[in-house]
């Protein structure tokens, strides 16, 4: 099993925080991370159909999360059949081409709870469950994948332009709030997706901008197992 560092999605997520400021107002961050799910599926999912369709360029990633001709809430990266007659783009460092999707095969939603856990949780749950429903509106057979990342750090500094908003929680309070947030995500959001991955981490958003997984080997194992199941599910559905 690769380490957490060996999976591209986990590396992309870590890169949001490690040695740089995390800017939560940038709406495309979830798209960027979710795109790497399909890179990992290509490498570790074991689906011959997915590998063949990626190699031929018949299936691509649309990081805008939209499906041509379908009105539905956007996700954080959809994978599916390329619209005939349109071009796919090769992005440096990525094997899966990007283009306009006509039919969604796999859709992902990515949410990060970095601070104000219990104030955010209702909105996060609504966004996650709403995305799962919307993805299936695009394609009834679509495979839905949810990601939720919860920060367990006692310290966090939010950034709004040139202003900063430091938050300090007592150790016990930090654990209790993060655990309650994680519990509700697993209880309410997880059942609405075909696969749901909970990522537990610590980041402060303060120089020197450290980052660590709460359980690196467990995180890698959970994500790796989800990839194998997703690959098998793709073989059956598509």
Query: Quick one: pLDDT at residue 57?
Result: 96
Query: Quick one: pLDDT at residue 67?
Result: 52
The yes-or-no verdict on residue 1 having pLDDT over 50 is no
Q: What band does 2 get if pLDDT is binned at 50, 70 and 90?
A: low
Name the percent of the chain lying above pLDDT 90.
Answer: 80
Q: What is the pTM of this model?
A: 0.91
Q: For 207-232, how does the pLDDT look when each residue is reduced to its tens digit (9 = 90+)?
A: 999 999 999 999 999 999 999 999 99
For residues 223 and 198, give the distance between their C-alpha atoms in angstroms, rounded to a whole number: 9
Number of folded domains that form the chain: 1
Q: For 143-190, how does the pLDDT look when each residue is reduced to its tens digit (9 = 90+)?
A: 999 999 999 999 999 887 778 888 999 999 999 999 999 999 999 999
Domain that holds residue 179: 4-237
């Amino acid at each position: 099993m690769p380490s957490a560092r060996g999976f591209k999605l986990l590396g992309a997520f870590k890169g949001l925080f490690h040695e740089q400021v995390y800017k939560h107002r940038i709406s495309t961050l979830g798209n960027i991370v979710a795109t790497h799910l399909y890179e990992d599926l290509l490498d570790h999912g074991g689906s011959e159909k997915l590998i063949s369709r990626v190699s031929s360029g018949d299936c691509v990633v649309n990081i805008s999360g939209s499906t041509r001709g379908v009105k539905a809430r956007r996700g954080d990266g959809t994978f599916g059949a390329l619209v005939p007659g349109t071009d796919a783009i090769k992005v440096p460092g990525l094997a899966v081409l990007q283009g306009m999707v006509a039919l969604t095969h796999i859709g992902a939603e990515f949410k990060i709870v970095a601070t104000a856990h219990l104030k955010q949780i209702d909105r996060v749950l609504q966004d996650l469950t709403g995305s799962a429903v919307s993805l299936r509106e695009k394609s009834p057979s679509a495979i839905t994948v949810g990601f939720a990342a919860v920060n367990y750090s006692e310290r966090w500094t939010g950034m709004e332009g040139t202003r900063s908003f430091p938050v300090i929680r007592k150790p016990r309070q930090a654990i209790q709030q993060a655990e309650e947030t994680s519990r509700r995500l697993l209880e309410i959001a997880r059942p609405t997706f075909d696969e749901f991955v909970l990522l537990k981490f610590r980041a402060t958003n303060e120089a020197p901008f450290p980052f660590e997984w709460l359980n690196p080997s467990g995180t890698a194992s959970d994500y790796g197992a989800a990839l194998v199941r997703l690959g098998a599910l793709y073989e059956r559905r598509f």
